[in-house]
Structure 1
Amino acid sequence: MVDINLVPHPEGSLLDLKAQPGSRKTELRGLQNGALKVCVTEVAEKGKANKAIVTFLRKTWKLKGSQLEIISGETASHKKLLIRDLTPENVLQLLRMCGVEG
């Protein structure tokens, strides 16, 4: 079992992300150093990649737009994602459904 940086938060859960903008394909690429690696085709300028990450995860996990927010690391490749209304256990279930083991 791989460790994933996923912790409870008063509004839900915090998940570490590793962003890879400018990829050939938008996809989840497993875990890297405890963070969920998310590749998006959008480039990292003017928040385009961040928006693409949130949109991709929202659609993949079938969540409302207001449930996902990047709360730190907006201009870095390592980010913290707030997932509102879901416990860490719920988030682990979503990851497993996507083929990511945490």
Structure 2
Amino acid sequence: MERLSIREGPEGCTFSVHVAPGSREDAIVGLYGDALRVRLRAPATRGKANQALRAFLAQQLDVPVEAVEILAGHNSRHKVIRVVGVSADWVHMRLKLEPRG
């Protein structure tokens, strides 16, 4: 079974996300390889999907939007996300994913 790969560091947790913009609902739909697969209603124009992704992940992880940063993939479906102030276990628990181990 594939698992979300999360790297913990001094500045927070980093993981990959595969985004499907323009969907019917905002939802986590599982994994895409070792990346989190997320559907968003927002279109992929003028950064709207990026803003929606940050807000959605902040809500799911119970952190402020400012704690969620897109490190790479601003113009791509595949993004690298950093969340400040949380552990890998917290991310797995909040996203209802199996912890690594």
The TM-score normalised by the length of structure 1 is: 0.88
Structure 1 stretch displaced more, 36-45 or 54-63: 54-63
Count of aligned pairs between the two proteins: 99
Identity among equivalent pairs (%): 29
Structure 2 gaps, min length 5: none
Q: Is the 8 A contact 2:14 2:82 kept in 1?
A: yes
Q: Is the 8 A contact 1:30 1:36 kept in 2?
A: yes
What are the Cα deviations for residues 53-84 of structure 1, in whole angstroms up to 9, with x where unaligned? 11111122221122111110000111011010
RMSD across aligned positions (CA): 1.3
Q: Which residue of 1 aligns with 2:50?
A: 50
Whichever residue aligns with residue 4 of structure 1, its letter is L
Structure 1 runs (4+) deviating above 4 angstroms are none
SS at match of 2:95: helix
Mapped partners of 2:4, 2:75: distance in 1: 22
Q: Which residue of 2 aligns with 1:78?
A: 78
Mapped partners of 1:94, 1:73: distance in 2: 23
The TM-score normalised by the length of structure 2 is: 0.89
Residue 3 of structure 1, CA deviation: 2.1
Q: Is the 8 A contact 1:2 1:101 kept in 2?
A: no
Structure 1 gaps, min length 5: none
